Structure 1
Amino acid sequence: MATGDTQPEVTVATAKPVVDESVPLVLVSGATGYVATHTIQKLLISGNYRVRGTIRSLKNEEKVKPLQELVPDAKYPLELCEADLQDKENWISAVKGCKYVLHIASPFPLSTPKNPEEVIRPAVDGTLNVLSACAESGTVKRVVLTSSIASISCGLAGHPGRQNNTYSEEDWSPPEACEPYERSKTLAEKAAWDFMKDLSEEKKFELVVVNPAVILGPILTKFTGTSVDIIKSVLAGEVPGVVDISMGVVDVRDVAQAHITAMEKPECNGKRHLLVSESAVPYQRICQVMNNEFVPQGYKAAGKMKIPKFVAWFLSMFNSQVKAAYPNIGKSVIYNTDRMTNVLGIQPQVADKMIIETAYSLIEFGLIAKTPQYHGPGGKPEAKAGEDKKDDIKPPATEGSPADDQTKPEEGKENTDEPHKDEQSQPEEKKATAEESYKEEQEDDTQKDKTDEKEDNSQKHETVVTKDDSQEDETEEKESKATD
């Protein structure tokens, strides 16, 4: 492959110059996104790669600065360049000189868009623009594409009419049966594999796909992924009730590690990889776990009211989030994750831990206000005004620091090199009783609300209905990925 091409103009995100161009260069698209920030941080910490990230505007200091601070003392400083998913010329410049490309950027709306093309076109065109640029680069060896369980099981619902609810990498969602977001991920991934089939031999490179479930876990910047808004809504007291929805979840640090391992391992080439820690987590369980941890710290209890399916149907006519959730009511899906554990070497984390750490990171980054009773992830009350604040809670430390073994959320570490250490982020008795409390609530609901159960016998679990809040930064969210 040619290596003497002129390098594209980029902005170096630290004061250090890049001195060793023989070190492999990795492009991460949608650098400000939830998964991308974790992936970039992990790559930089390893010291094995130079990293270039794409961002919509280098003039946006509010988004550039947090990227600079991910690993301020990185051996090879982060480079940034401007790129837009639908601008093909951007990507020709962005991938030049890169050996690996991690295409993570993709639109992920929390509510159903009025026009499906708002998510479908950027996802499909953006993917093809990146792959086309890689084919012309002469340097790219492998691309890792962030897809989703959406392209395997129609998201949380499963295939219409299918009796077997267990899915693997061999399954494909029928696009015509999918909601807009699920359809966009399915069509984008199909377009990628079709592109590779038609690629001439002299332009060929390798393609690997990862298919994460709903992504949870600590944030590294205040620009969160859409999946994190699920936790944010509960913590903010915006959850008046729950309906029967369950979801597959996976930790953001595991997703980041999956991208890197998929980039490095030869046996990953040409394969899809499901990323699911727990296949069917009821939204009621999410509420219960958060209630146990945060109600004693002054936050409002969530998910106490059960919403029958017929009421959810009525609400769906006025609330876009309920409308997006409604097709998934009463359904659950199981995933075969053998490739995740046996090939990528990722051991699933417990959902409760992800939920708690996500919530603490939202508070520590100021996205949810601290209450007077808030004591932080370390379990110590904050010092009152005028008192010595030696033990002030700070955002979780970055990987490699002494704080890694403490009880703070692992927000400072993308997918840390050792993401499976079982740090205790909540009191032991709460961890031991979270699932029991959920089960007791289910039993209580069974006796208190038999009428609702007759109306919808298919209900097994429950999930949250949130207020129809508008997205704060829709433009940048379209640059974020996955999955979650």
Structure 2
Amino acid sequence: MSHSNGTNNPNDSNGLHDRNDTKDPRGDLVLVTGGTGFIAQHCILALLASGYRVRTTLRSAKREAEVLTHLRVGGADPGDRLSFVVADLSADAGWTEAVAGCRYVLHGASPTPSGDHASEGDWIRPAVDGNLRVLRAARDAGVKRVVLTSAFGAICAGHGPMSRPFDETDWSDISGKSGEVWPYQKSKTLAERAAWDFIAKEGRGLELSAINPVAVLGPALGPDTSHSIGIIQRMMDGQPGCPKINTGVVDVRDVADLHLRAMTDPAANGERFLATAGDSLWMVDIATVLKRRLGAAANRVKTRVLPNWLVKLIGRGTPAGRSVASLLGRNLNASGNKARRVLGWRPRSNEEAIVATAESLVRLKMLRD
């Protein structure tokens, strides 16, 4: 399913949306939503390194110091080139100020309900409403393009066995007819669809691209990282073995690079891009890389494959356990060819992403003693 809007949109010339590019875009102001997020912080690092000015949103001003500490770990001291605005996806307050004067918006913030027992509605409504709130503010401020951080969960869920790798034409089937769909996956699917519908019906020339990453690895900047980094962390800390689960991986620095390419390349307007470094891996493949590359730091890593019945038994009775059980034996291979072909994206290998993750966990002392 393509969302190409072409480049001859008649709305592009209306007063608010004068999209004539400046000769040198560096120095443009870019809004990155959800500045405490793992992907968001790497996007901020990439933008600063490319000469942009950055504004980021936080739900609480108390977390400014934490963000700055993480950026320093990533090698940046932004000074006055980074500013903060307090804005929450669940309310209108702060968003007009957040987007004011911005040429681009990288929207990765997503509300995450706390606790295993959050209802489906707790996931979906905030995700959909949050996307629409940001898009509306961006449109009204004359932003040129929004790059939405969606997810592989909006592509891969609810399908039966696939005879080919997943690609950008695929959408998660949230009907539940072909397999269990978790609230997170449903929320990501409905939120991305709502964004495309908004652009088609109410965008008035605002441009949109979407990035759909698989499991995001790469250098942690501090203890508040991604769910995917937990996969490596648990292996390094000695989990009893590897469930028969399959996943694509991608380095967060390459996800950030893809956001920047999608932000400025005319060919990215109206398109989705799957961010995956290579063929998908089984958990035991990841454990094997760690054992081979990390030396003594990987002493606790186990490379035995846990039987499916044991994984189901351990996870019985919790939503997280049931979601793991639903993935057992499923091949989730996906293709990143479109991003390579259209945007010239060249990600690091699976192995580089895995090793960079583990090395950062050792460096930041995030593994158990």
What TM-score range do you get, normalising by the shorter chain? 0.7 to 0.9
1:240 & 1:83 partners in 2: Cα distance?
42
Which residue in 1 is equivalent to 2:92?
A: 88
**Match of residue 132, structure 1, among 130, 136, 145:** 136
Cα offset for 1:245? 0.9
1:349 & 1:245 partners in 2: Cα distance?
22
Cα deviation 1:282-329 (Å, max 9, x = unaligned): 00111122233446347413243x332223222221454332211111
- Structure 1 residue 150 and structure 2 residue 146: aligned? no
Cα offset for 1:200? 5.9
Cα deviation 1:175-232 (Å, max 9, x = unaligned): 223211111110110000011111163xx31001111111111122332111111111
Cα offset for 1:61? 5.2
Cα offset for 1:333? 2.7
2:311 & 2:79 partners in 1: Cα distance?
52
Indicate the structure (1 or 2) with the bigger Cα radius of gyration: 1
Which structure 2 residues correspond to residues 295-444 of structure 1 after superposition, within 5 A?
296-297=296-297, 299-304=299-304, 306-369=305-368
What SS is found at the alignment partner of 2:155?
Answer: helix
Which residue in 1 is equivalent to 2:217?
A: 216
Whether the 8 Å CA contact 1:242–1:283 is kept in 2: the answer is yes
Cα offset for 1:108? 6.0
**Match of residue 121, structure 1, among 115, 119, 125:** 125
Cα offset for 1:84? 1.0
Cα offset for 1:279? 3.2
Distance 1:330 1:72, change over 3 A: closer
What SS is found at the alignment partner of 1:322?
Answer: helix
Which residue in 2 is equivalent to 1:175?
A: 174
Which residue in 1 is equivalent to 2:245?
A: 245
TM-score (norm. length: structure 2): 0.85
2:112 & 2:303 partners in 1: Cα distance?
24
Which residue in 2 is equivalent to 1:184?
A: 187
**Match of residue 41, structure 1, among 22, 45, 48:** 45
2:211 & 2:167 partners in 1: Cα distance?
12
Q: Counting helix residues as a fraction of each chain, which structure ranks higher?
A: 2
Name the aligned partner's letter for residue 225 of structure 2.
Answer: T
Q: Which has the larger displacement, 325-334 or 67-76?
A: 67-76
Which residue in 2 is equivalent to 1:414?
A: none
Name the aligned partner's letter for residue 273 of structure 1.
Answer: F
Cα offset for 1:112? 5.7
**Match of residue 68, structure 2, among 53, 65, 69:** 65
Cα offset for 1:29? 0.6
**Match of residue 82, structure 2, among 78, 82, 90:** 78
Give the percent of matched residue pairs that are identical in Structure 1 and Structure 2.
Answer: 37
1:315 & 1:110 partners in 2: Cα distance?
22
Q: Which has the larger displacement, 61-70 or 78-87?
A: 61-70
Name the aligned partner's letter for residue 206 of structure 1.
Answer: E
1:242 & 1:325 partners in 2: Cα distance?
12
Cα deviation 1:65-104 (Å, max 9, x = unaligned): 3256356554852111111111122222211111100001
1:151 & 1:200 partners in 2: Cα distance?
21
What SS is found at the alignment partner of 2:280?
Answer: strand
Distance 1:109 1:352, change over 3 A: farther
What SS is found at the alignment partner of 2:160?
Answer: coil
Which residue in 2 is equivalent to 1:25?
A: 29
Cα offset for 1:114? 4.1
Cα offset for 1:150? 1.2
Which residue in 2 is equivalent to 1:97?
A: 101
C-alpha RMSD of the superposition: 2.5
What SS is found at the alignment partner of 1:331?
Answer: coil
Name the aligned partner's letter for residue 211 of structure 1.
Answer: N
Distance 1:345 1:293, change over 3 A: same
Cα offset for 1:50? 1.1
Cα offset for 1:362? 1.4
Whether the 8 Å CA contact 1:309–1:329 is kept in 2: the answer is yes
Structure 1 alignment gaps of length 5 or more = 4-20, 372-484
- Structure 1 residue 53 and structure 2 residue 52: aligned? no
What SS is found at the alignment partner of 1:215?
Answer: strand
Aligned residues: 343
